[in-house]
């Protein structure tokens, strides 16, 4: 994460290296109403295990709070986007792995002073066949506090249909959550 000054010089740089110094990724960043900066991504550990990584920094780059989320099911958990509401609460979307159900879209809201989890929800587009994957990509919060998430859901074609295709079919997914 890097912050630039108005003259394009570097104000500060922060790096995060997961527990086993594996292939860690930053995917989303947002600025809160009070100037705090939120970042989200994936930390990898060995044996393969992905963690959703969430960190909130103050405007000087100091960590205000940080947390991870582990579905406990594998190496694919990854935070994809982050947003702040008008009160400074933090909302994230991710894809998390669930045993025998592939990836699910995961949405969570944290207290402004974090990392207290206020609520979480998930979306699983299909359980037949097991292993279908759903991905949360972007999140936004409106002025009232409703949370909007976009992503994609992947499902198998119906093998009883005459034009059955054994490949994945994907569709755009949009979710709305109450404050």
Q: What are the tens digits of pLDDT across the range 119-152? A: 999 988 765 555 578 889 999 999 999 999 999 8
- Quick one: how far is CA 117 from the chain centroid? 14
Q: Give pTM, 2 decimals.
A: 0.86
Contact 48, 40 (CB under 8 A): no
Six-digit token pair at 16?
């995060």
42 falls in which pLDDT band (50, 70, 90)?
very high
Query: Which two tokens mark 11?
Result: 């104000």
Query: Peptide bond before 115: cis, by omega within 30 degrees of 0?
Result: yes
Provide the pLDDT for residue 171. 79
pLDDT at 158: 56
| Confidence at residue 165, expressed as pLDDT on a 0 to 100 scale | 55
1/142 Cα distance (integer angstroms):
25
CB distance 38 to 20 below 8 Å: no
């Amino acid at each position: 994460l890097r912050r630039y000054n108005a003259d394009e010089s570097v104000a500060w740089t922060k790096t995060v290296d997961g527990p086993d110094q594996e292939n860690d990724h930053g995917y989303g960043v947002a600025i809160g109403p009070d100037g705090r900066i939120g970042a989200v991504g994936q930390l990898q550990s060995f044996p393969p295990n992905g963690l959703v990584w969430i960190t909130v920094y103050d405007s000087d780059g100091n960590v205000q709070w940080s947390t991870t989320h582990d579905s406990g099911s594998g190496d694919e958990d990854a935070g994809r986007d982050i947003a702040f509401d008008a009160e400074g609460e933090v909302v994230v979307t991710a894809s998390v792995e669930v045993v025998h159900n592939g990836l699910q879209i995961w949405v969570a809201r944290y207290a402004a002073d974090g990392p207290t989890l206020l609520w979480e929800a998930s979306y699983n587009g299909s359980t037949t066949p097991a292993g279908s994957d759903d991905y949360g990509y972007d999140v936004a919060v409106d002025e009232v506090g409703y949370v909007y998430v976009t992503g994609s859901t992947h499902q198998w074609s119906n093998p009883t249909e005459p034009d059955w295709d054994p490949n994945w079919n994907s569709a755009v997914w949009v979710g709305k959550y109450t404050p």
